[in-house]
Amino acid sequence: MVLSQAISFLYNTQLSGISAEKENIKGPLVLNALINYKYSDRLNKIKTMTVTISKQDFNRNKIYFERDVFIPGFEFRGVITGLNDINDTLLAITMSETGWHFTRRLYKIADSLKEYNLTLTDPADLATELQIILDSANTDMPFTWELGDDIPATADYDFNIKWKSYYEVLVTIAKKTGNEIWFEGFKVKFGTRGKTITLDRSDKIYEDLSTKIDLDTYGNIVNVVGAKVGGTNVHAQATADQTNLLYNYERVVSNNDLEDQAAVDAIAPVSLKDFDSIDPDVKIDIEEELVHKYSMEAGDVLKITTNSETQTVKGFYRVISIDVTSSKSTIKLQFSKTGKFIPRISDNIDILEAILVKIHDLELNS
């Protein structure tokens, strides 16, 4: 037997042994001896967690891609999606929540790979259309996904998708209908995610606070440029009817698939809706204990009250993202006077009232 054959034989034998051992493993891998960690939860994103462990604390044969995993401290359940050998003693493991399975395959029905047109003309049919997508995805899942209850009334839509994963399709539908998508157990949920949390007056909500209004993503004048017709690109412009801002902010959207004037005229007002709102961000460094105390998740609405003269944040805020690490915990909030999310498609005046007036009223200058 030549050397290459010997190596091949040993490699195949090793793989066979590992495969057999995997078959004998029951239940998720429980990780609780963590050297450090990072947990991330964002609206319309897959929850992820990366931990560093000592190689001496775990049987490394039981740590492999796609294995089920559970982190007791965060009640985090998911699958291993990344491994990184840091050095001889440390191993970093990246995990994603179980909704990650939707990212593995491209959306197709009856094994047909093509460009799909997704059209909804009756909001009551949204659950029916979502169920068709889930049925297709469930042909290759480790368990059966179910559609969450109480799919809300929604907006009509008509858009094309080409070679996108099941997850990208579901997220796109959520955004087109003004909804959010998240996963609970083996259910795919659509609607407005989150619960209302009233913080105790004794809770110290922040160690450090910063606010930002990002005008880089704002435009009250949007130009849509399409393909060339007669040597000149077809062009349409949409302008916000009313704004309280002192200056205009222009944005350009370009797509050669827009082949005539009618096409750019139709897309211009749609593009304007994507740009004509300002999302105010409030970033707060908080103690990790508060995240666990209230089981905070992206989408939660926080009612913040305080008797402290030094804590100037008061009112309703929606949690946009949560990042918890072994050294620092940060939540990103958006202000809401009603506790309801201010979506990107909201009326400009409502948003400006919430931002320009209320931020001043709440003295968010600490």
| Predicted confidence (pLDDT) per residue in 184-223, tens digit | 989 999 999 999 888 887 777 766 677 666 677 788 899 9
If asked whether residues 145 and 184 sit together in one domain, one would say yes
Q: Which of 234, 255, 275 is the last residue of a domain?
A: 275
If asked whether residues 310 and 209 sit together in one domain, one would say yes
- Any domain includes 327: yes
Mapped onto helix, strand or coil, the DSSP state of residue 128 is helix
If asked whether residues 181 and 125 sit together in one domain, one would say yes
- Any domain includes 246: yes
Domain region containing 161: 104-191
Phi-psi region at 363: left, alpha or beta (left = phi > 0; alpha = psi -120 to 50): left
Compute how many other C-beta atoms are within 10 angstroms of the C-beta atom of residue 162: 10
Question: Parallel, antiparallel, or unpaired: how do β-strands 187-191 and 146-147 relate?
Answer: parallel
- Any domain includes 89: yes
Tokens of 17: 């042994």
If asked whether residues 33 and 108 sit together in one domain, one would say no
If asked whether residues 298 and 183 sit together in one domain, one would say no
Please tell me whether the overall predicted TM-score, pTM, comes out greater than 0.75 for this model: no
CATH number for the domain harbouring residue 84: 2.40.30
pLDDT confidence of residue 122: 85
If asked whether residues 333 and 209 sit together in one domain, one would say yes
Q: Summarize pLDDT for 319-362 with one digit per residue, the tens.
A: 989 999 999 899 988 766 443 333 333 334 444 444 444 444 44
In the chain, the amino acid numbered 25 is: I
If asked whether residues 93 and 165 sit together in one domain, one would say no
- Any domain includes 321: yes
pLDDT confidence of residue 306: 62
- Any domain includes 182: yes
Alpha-carbon dihedral sign for residues 251, 252, 258, 261? positive
How remote is the C-alpha of 152 from its chain's centroid?
Answer: 19
If asked whether residues 287 and 322 sit together in one domain, one would say yes
Helix and strand totals (H; E) in the chain: 7, 20
Q: Which of 100, 127, 148 is the last residue of a domain?
A: 100
Q: Per the structure, how many domains does the chain have? A: 4
Beta strands in the chain (DSSP E): 29-30, 36-42, 48-54, 68-71, 76-85, 90-97, 115-120, 146-147, 157-162, 180-184, 187-191, 196-198, 208-213, 221-229, 232-239, 250-254, 280-286, 301-304, 315-325, 329-335
pLDDT confidence of residue 355: 45
pLDDT confidence of residue 314: 67
From edge to edge, which strands make up the β-sheet containing 180-184?
Answer: 146-147, 187-191, 180-184
pLDDT confidence of residue 19: 56
If asked whether residues 15 and 150 sit together in one domain, one would say no
If asked whether residues 131 and 204 sit together in one domain, one would say no
- Any domain includes 323: yes
Instruction: Check: CB of residue 348 under 8 Å from CB of residue 220.
Output: yes
Cα–Cα nearest to 212, from 281, 112, 129: 281
Instruction: Check: CB of residue 177 under 8 Å from CB of residue 217.
Output: no
Mapped onto helix, strand or coil, the DSSP state of residue 249 is coil
Residues 6 or more apart whose CB falls under 8 angstroms from that of 164 comprise 106, 107, 172
In the chain, the amino acid numbered 84 is: N
pLDDT confidence of residue 302: 85
If asked whether residues 232 and 202 sit together in one domain, one would say no
The mean of the pLDDT values for the chain is 81
Residue with tokens 């913040």: 304
Q: Please state, in angstroms and rounded to a whole number, the distance separating the CA atoms of residues 263 and 281.
A: 34
- Low-confidence stretches of the chain (pLDDT < 70) are 1-25, 206-208, 211-214, 244, 277-281, 306-314, 335-366
- Any domain includes 366: no
DSSP string, 69-123: EEEGGGTEEEEEEEEEE-SSSEEEEEEEEGGGGGGSSB--BTTB-SEEEEEESSG
Q: Is 101 exposed, middle or buried (0-12, 13-18, 19+ CB in 10 A)?
A: buried
pLDDT confidence of residue 279: 60
If asked whether residues 206 and 307 sit together in one domain, one would say yes
